[in-house]
Chain A
């Protein structure tokens, strides 16, 4: 589909997401929600705003009032803003924090609000928000939003599937450029060019290609090192389309002709790596059941006799970062987090061997009542075909 104008997110998607947030506010007795994270603001407002790279410090980018159901949005113009956010609910860019206090305190319901939840805070806004909400206690809104966003509506799953498709097409271009002599940075450029030619201009990450290290699980020399024959090169392909992240990772061994060597031509040690990755993948898929604790995914590594990977074993996909985050660094969190139908994850199959490198693949999937359903159709060697 060709997009030639900036439109709000689909009305069904918007209504479902907003209803969920208002219900969560009701359940937690939160009067006003002040959101700084772009993904949270997008979730409730359905408005595409300018993409910038990197983290952003908290600021009041979007305000939701439970009593009126109103969404107030930081946007100097109405392009891409849906009808349910009228002009008088828009407030413009400001560099003057006093203006934020004026805007926020003028919102209907601000003066009487008893509980105001935020998704983060800075020292400055910790002082300013009590001025805008004089009767309120400031509480945690991020946990509420994260739980709300973790389970996807069917429309969200389709949006993520579409994003994965965009990522796959750009990935194919980068894979085709994998020949000895090309650098990681150049491969990233090829991916980005293909992504934008495909109509999507916003990546999920910008570290697309990595020559896995033979000496350390998680290091690189520099992004300008040329790829050499026999290298295992991982492509982390991620785009943000319609706000939703679509991501997958694929590792290829650089053959003399630039193509991925098939199993029969692999060096013995790489064949061993592939075999172990395959076994790991089967354990991961088996653990990916609704109702199971997320820690079952950690156990899959232990069961396969593999060390913890340097990246999370699983993390949620959605508007940016979503629950669950499953990593060996947070075992209690994983044990307390059940996997649920409707969660969308990127699942990491990671194996590394000294002297060889890593096979690092990540698979986007949705958990259904029957088990995991893959969202990517891009070839992954650990998936039996």
Chain B
């Protein structure tokens, strides 16, 4: 069985330990640098992951519906190196060490006019009069607040500020990401040991959820996918693209010998998301046709990695993948060949998405970006092979961030 990616390339740029205080300081400098450049006085962030990035706050992410009322809010003031956090979540020793008491505020309720009015008063006390405010998203109640949030025209796009800052990762951030990916791989090893006929998909989820928390994860971020792939595409659900339906939700369906499982999971650790993908076969060794699928997948992955380096464009990667796949795009049309990973499970840079080929040609990779590469090989009649690898872009190439073996291939 082939070992993981780290058997083929050394790890050189990812430190073992993160210095969290330095990580937060450097982020603050990046964010405020963009604010100053764009003439923004205050950045107001509601999106959970944007808040985690800007305020360095880590909390166990809740269901998206619950997240609407339990919503931490971050405020970055351009001339204050420490961010403000308005949070309904219990604070802990680490957060109290990072944020002084006068920057840690109680919860705000931005779905309610009364809550927005209170927040506007608090915000006004932190910023100069008539400030230029950037916001990543807003509730309708916020839209009605015209004294500070919508005093002028529409506010500046605050989400773009964070997108720009998070595009490349610092060494401390890479250390956190690698730790989260390791937690995921440890949990996955426990799950893979359970794969057998008669085991339910939800049993695999049970093992995964137990082991990620035991291994130190802060939260699960995605209802884990253990999709049983149909041999023929036409046997799967109808799709808008006429292509594969994936990822499909897990149920209490029992695994059957010979099932081809496409696995996709991720966890949250230290504010970063991990990503994991493999193909497993239930209760059987892969047959010759399945091994050939894997060999083709490896050839595609190798071809993409061959051209992956700072200065390459996303278009260089897609071209290498298409050439290695014999002229077809070896990825699902509703997704991509690859995507960025960081505080979000999928973030810029997107490689081979429906943003289009012109975009791919213009997107230049730079050192410090983290890419998840997820080509597929579909072999109609015998399902196919899909796996994901996470790599760090370096000046002279790339470096592995994942190291899970390809067993049973």
Interface residues of A (CB under 8 A from B): 2-6, 37-39, 48, 50-58, 75-80, 87, 90-96, 99, 118-124, 126, 140-143, 146, 185-186, 188-190, 192-197, 199-207, 210, 218-224, 238, 240, 245, 310-312, 315, 319-321, 325, 327, 329-333
The answer for the CA separation of A383 and B111 in the assembled complex, in Å, is: 32
The answer for the CA separation of A321 and B248 in the assembled complex, in Å, is: 25
Which of A99, A123, A203, A205 lies in contact with B157, CB distance below 8 A?
A123
Say what secondary structure dominates the interface of chain B. loop
B213 at the interface (CB under 8 A from A): yes
Q: Enumerate chain B residues within 8 angstroms of A48, measured Cβ to Cβ.
A: 249
The answer for the CA separation of A142 and B109 in the assembled complex, in Å, is: 14
Given A76-B334, A207-B59, answer yes or no on A91-B240 (Cβ-Cβ < 8 Å). Answer: yes
Q: Are B252 and A2 in contact (CB under 8 A)?
A: yes
- With both beta carbons as reference points, the residue of chain A lying nearest to B268 in the complex is identified as A53
- Supply 17 A–B pairs (Cβ within 8 Å), ascending by A: A4-B251, A53-B63, A55-B48, A91-B240, A93-B334, A94-B354, A122-B136, A122-B137, A123-B154, A197-B203, A202-B63, A203-B62, A206-B60, A206-B218, A223-B92, A311-B88, A329-B106
Q: Are B219 and A206 in contact (CB under 8 A)?
A: yes
The answer for the CA separation of A188 and B215 in the assembled complex, in Å, is: 12
B57 CB to closest chain A CB (Å) equals: 12
Q: Are A6 and B249 in contact (CB under 8 A)?
A: yes
The answer for the CA separation of A380 and B222 in the assembled complex, in Å, is: 32
Which of A91, A203, A220, A325 lies in contact with B90, CB distance below 8 A?
A220
B2 at the interface (CB under 8 A from A): no
B245 at the interface (CB under 8 A from A): yes
Q: Enumerate chain A residues within 8 angstroms of B334, measured Cβ to Cβ.
A: 76, 92-94
B32-40, B65-73, B320-328 - interface stretch:
B65-73
Which of A56, A123, A210, A222 lies in contact with B64, CB distance below 8 A?
A56
Q: Enumerate chain B residues within 8 angstroms of A94, measured Cβ to Cβ.
A: 334, 354
The answer for the CA separation of A200 and B68 in the assembled complex, in Å, is: 22
The answer for the CA separation of A123 and B251 in the assembled complex, in Å, is: 37
B247 CB to closest chain A CB (Å) equals: 6
The answer for the CA separation of A87 and B239 in the assembled complex, in Å, is: 8
Which of B62, B214, B336, B356 lies in contact with A204, CB distance below 8 A?
B62
B139 at the interface (CB under 8 A from A): yes
Q: Enumerate chain B residues within 8 angstroms of A220, measured Cβ to Cβ.
A: 90-92
Q: Enumerate chain A residues within 8 angstroms of B245, measured Cβ to Cβ.
A: 76-77, 79
- With both beta carbons as reference points, the residue of chain B lying nearest to A52 in the complex is identified as B222
Q: Are A192 and B92 in contact (CB under 8 A)?
A: no
Q: Enumerate chain B residues within 8 angstroms of A140, measured Cβ to Cβ.
A: 140-141, 143-144
Which of A53, A123, A196 lies in contact with B62, CB distance below 8 A?
A53
B210 at the interface (CB under 8 A from A): yes
Count B interface residues, CB 8 Å: 94
Q: Are A189 and B350 in contact (CB under 8 A)?
A: no
Which of B92, B223, B350 lies in contact with A219, CB distance below 8 A?
B92
The answer for the CA separation of A77 and B335 in the assembled complex, in Å, is: 13
Q: Are A95 and B115 in contact (CB under 8 A)?
A: no
Q: Are A92 and B205 in contact (CB under 8 A)?
A: no
B129 at the interface (CB under 8 A from A): no
Given A120-B138, A206-B61, answer yes or no on A219-B91 (Cβ-Cβ < 8 Å). Answer: yes
Q: Are B220 and A206 in contact (CB under 8 A)?
A: yes
- With both beta carbons as reference points, the residue of chain A lying nearest to B49 in the complex is identified as A54
Given A51-B63, A201-B224, A219-B91, answer yes or no on A57-B159 (Cβ-Cβ < 8 Å). Answer: yes
Which of A93, A188, A200, A319 lies in contact with B213, CB distance below 8 A?
A188
- With both beta carbons as reference points, the residue of chain A lying nearest to B240 in the complex is identified as A92
The answer for the CA separation of A55 and B208 in the assembled complex, in Å, is: 22
Q: Are B350 and A123 in contact (CB under 8 A)?
A: no
B376 CB to closest chain A CB (Å) equals: 15
Kindly list the 6 A-B residue pairs having the minimum CB-CB distance in the complex, ordered from nearest.
A320-B65, A189-B213, A192-B209, A140-B140, A196-B206, A193-B210
- With both beta carbons as reference points, the residue of chain B lying nearest to A7 in the complex is identified as B251
Q: Enumerate chain A residues within 8 angstroms of B203, measured Cβ to Cβ.
A: 196-197
Q: Enumerate chain A residues within 8 angstroms of B47, measured Cβ to Cβ.
A: 55-57
Q: Are A206 and B137 in contact (CB under 8 A)?
A: no
B251 CB to closest chain A CB (Å) equals: 5
Q: Are A201 and B223 in contact (CB under 8 A)?
A: yes
B146 at the interface (CB under 8 A from A): no
The answer for the CA separation of A119 and B34 in the assembled complex, in Å, is: 29
